Amino acid sequence: MDRGTFASKTPRYRRPHDTSQLLVVVLPHSSSDKYGRASAQRGFQRGKKIVFTWPSLKEQNSVKMALAKAKELVADNSVIVFSKTYCPYCTKVKKLLTDLGAKFKAVELDKESDGSEIQTALAQWTGQRTVPSVFIKEKHIGGCDDTIAQNKAGKLVPLLEGAGAL
Q: Based on the domain organization, do 128 and 49 belong to the same domain?
A: no
pLDDT digits (tens, 9 = 90+) for 113-164: 889 999 999 999 999 999 999 999 999 999 999 999 999 999 999 999 999 9
CATH of the domain at 74: 3.40.30.10
Same structural domain for residues 131 and 151? yes
The string of pLDDT tens digits covering residues 45-74 is 555 555 555 555 555 667 888 899 999 999
Residues 69 and 136 in one domain: yes
Q: Which domain holds residue 45?
A: 3-54
Looking at the structure, do residues 46 and 62 belong to the same domain, yes or no?
A: no
Interstrand relation of 12-14 and 133-136 (parallel, antiparallel or unpaired): unpaired
Are both 42 and 92 inside the same structural domain?
Answer: no
Number of domains composing the chain = 2
- Count the neighbouring beta carbons within 10 Å of the beta carbon of residue 130: 15
Least confident of 33-37, 45-49, 109-113: 33-37
- Are 42 and 73 members of one domain? no
Alpha helices per DSSP H over the chain: 3-9, 34-41, 57-76, 88-99, 115-126, 144-152, 156-162
Predicted model pTM: 0.65
What is the spatial distance between Cα 17 and Cα 14, in angstroms, rounded to a whole number?
A: 10
